[in-house]
């Protein structure tokens, strides 16, 4: 027997790069998506979850029987809970109640303790990230094996995980022939880790942030001011502040992407390429198309395919919801 490992963790990383034919033909560039939805827990956030747990273990903050607490849009929680289950940790997840039912159900079904809170801005003490941090502190003395706040936004073990895995994989898979990398930011872990690795290898690789409407990061990168306009149905991306992970990113420029631009890209990929992707992928691919147009024909651009559409069915394929929001919907529904 070769390459056998008995653990969930063996299924994290080493994801393929998939050529996105429509976006590539449109721009006469080679646009590839890193298929992070193939990670064992179904999203790019499995990598962050693993890096945060390994960090806590190395710092001797947790041992078998311990508890991991985290505030998450869902995907990090799903990753933490699966990894936690495989290593003997309990998981408590704090999540905004407006996230999709699909992600809440997944968390409950895999045994996470789920605490839903009303969405509040970061400056408010009721913000889900702050609630998770306080909860971990309160529970500290209840478990001798340790209670850890994973703190994916400001623990830079997150970005380091991508620096050590996602970045090198992209460099090897493209054999260093990469002109641009584009992705959105939630915690900033992916863009920080990947951008630092790629810029170290070749400082001429262009790194662009693809930011949904309603997020302040586009204006911060382009004009130096944290300011937002509009909104988006996407989940897990966008920010009103500079997290410690995002602060490490090496970024050349940013695109602001509206749902009217990203949703048709997702629907076309389903119809024409058999790829059924989550909402942040639409923003990422829209950004890759914009960067391809900016850099010109013949370039190779990589983006991240974070998760699958099934985590967002109640929004992405809900015709009534989309019509109410005056957004495009799939022609076949």
Residue nearest to ligand PMP (CB): 236
Minimum separation from the CB atom of position 47 to ligand PMP (A): 8
CB 82 within 8 A of CB 88: no
Burial of 2 by CB count in 10 Å (0-12 exposed, 13-18 middle, 19+ buried)? exposed
Dihedral angle over CA of 254, 260, 261, 264, nearest 10 = 150
Select which of 45, 103, 199, 206 is catalytic: 45
Q: Which is nearer to ligand PMP, 66 or 79 (CB)?
A: 79
Interaction of residue 36 with ligand PMP, rule CB under 6 A? no
Helices 189-201 and 157-164, axial angle in degrees (round to 10): 40
DSSP annotation string for 180-220: EEEE--SSSHHHHHHHHHHHHH-TTSEEEEEEETT-SHHHH
Interface of this chain with ligand PMP, residues 51 to 80, rule: CB under 6 A: 73, 75
First to last CA, the chain: 47
Distance CA 275, CA 43 (A): 14
Residue count of the chain, please give it.
333
Interaction of residue 190 with ligand PMP, rule CB under 6 A? yes
Distance CA 255, CA 123 (A): 26
CB 304 within 8 A of CB 47: no
Minimum separation from the CB atom of position 14 to ligand PMP (A): 18
**CB neighbours of 313 closer than 8 A, spacing ≥ 6?**
100, 102
Q: Tell which residue, 281, 271, 267, 260, has the closest CA to residue 317.
A: 267
Site for ligand PMP (CB under 6 A): which residue of 188, 212, 238, 287? 188
Interface of this chain with ligand PMP, residues 214 to 273, rule: CB under 6 A: 236-237
Q: Annotated catalytic, 45? A: yes
Helices 189-201 and 166-173, axial angle in degrees (round to 10): 50
Interaction of residue 150 with ligand PMP, rule CB under 6 A? no
Q: Which is nearer to ligand PMP, 251 or 299 (CB)?
A: 251
Distance CA 67, CA 186 (A): 24
Q: Which token pair is 152?
A: 């994916």
Interaction of residue 206 with ligand PMP, rule CB under 6 A? no
Interaction of residue 185 with ligand PMP, rule CB under 6 A? yes
Q: Which is nearer to ligand PMP, 150 or 301 (CB)?
A: 150
Interaction of residue 39 with ligand PMP, rule CB under 6 A? no
Site for ligand PMP (CB under 6 A): which residue of 106, 166, 187, 196? 187
Q: Which is nearer to ligand PMP, 146 or 239 (CB)?
A: 239
Minimum separation from the CB atom of position 43 to ligand PMP (A): 6
Minimum separation from the CB atom of position 291 to ligand PMP (A): 17
Site for ligand PMP (CB under 6 A): which residue of 39, 99, 106, 184? 184
Q: Which is nearer to ligand PMP, 145 or 310 (CB)?
A: 310
- How is residue 24 annotated by DSSP? H
Q: Which is nearer to ligand PMP, 167 or 236 (CB)?
A: 236
**What's the sign of the alpha-carbon dihedral 221, 225, 229, 231?**
positive
Question: Binders of ligand PMP: how many residues, by CB under 6 A?
Answer: 19
Measured in whole angstroms, how far is the alpha carbon of residue 256 from the centre of its chain?
A: 17
Interface of this chain with ligand PMP, residues 266 to 325, rule: CB under 6 A: 278, 280, 306-307
Footprint on this chain of ligand PMP (rule: CB under 6 A): 43-45, 48, 73, 75, 184-190, 236-237, 278, 280, 306-307
Q: Which residues are catalytic?
A: 45
């Amino acid at each position: 027997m070769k390459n056998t490992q008995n653990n969930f963790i063996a299924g994290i990383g080493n994801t393929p790069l998939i050529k996105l034919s429509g976006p590539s033909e449109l721009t006469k560039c080679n646009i590839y998506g890193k298929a992070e939805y193939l990670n064992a827990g179904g999203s790019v956030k499995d990598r962050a979850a693993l890096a945060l747990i390994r960090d806590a273990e190395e710092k001797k903050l947790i041992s078998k029987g311990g508890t991991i607490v985290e505030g998450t849009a869902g995907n990090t929680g799903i990753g933490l809970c699966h990894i936690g289950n495989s290593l003997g940790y309990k998981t408590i997840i704090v999540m905004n109640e407006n996230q999709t039912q699909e992600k809440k159900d997944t968390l409950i079904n895999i045994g996470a303790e789920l605490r839903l809170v009303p969405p509040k801005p970061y400056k408010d003490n009721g913000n889900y990230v702050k609630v998770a941090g306080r909860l971990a502190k309160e529970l500290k003395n209840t478990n001798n094996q340790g209670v850890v706040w994973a703190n994916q936004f400001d623990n830079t073990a997150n970005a380091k995980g991508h620096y050590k895995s996602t970045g090198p994989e992209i460099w090897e898979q493209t054999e260093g022939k990469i002109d641009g990398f584009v992705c959105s930011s939630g915690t900033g872990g992916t863009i920080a880790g990947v951008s630092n690795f790629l810029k170290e290898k070749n400082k001429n690789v262009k790194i662009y942030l693809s930011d949904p409407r309603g997020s302040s990061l586009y204006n911060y990168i382009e004009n130096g001011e944290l300011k937002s306009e509009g909104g988006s149905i996407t989940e897990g991306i966008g920010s009103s502040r500079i997290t410690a992970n995002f602060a490490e990113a090496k970024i050349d420029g940013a695109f602001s992407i509206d749902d009217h631009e990203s949703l048709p890209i997702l629907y076309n990929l389903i119809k024409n390429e058999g790829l059924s992707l989550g909402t942040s992928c639409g923003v990422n691919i829209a950004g890759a198309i914009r960067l391809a147009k900016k850099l010109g024909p013949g370039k190779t651009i990589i983006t991240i395919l974070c998760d699958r559409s099934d985590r967002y069915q109640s929004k992405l394929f809900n015709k009534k919801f989309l019509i109410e929001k005056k957004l495009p919907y799939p022609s076949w529904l």
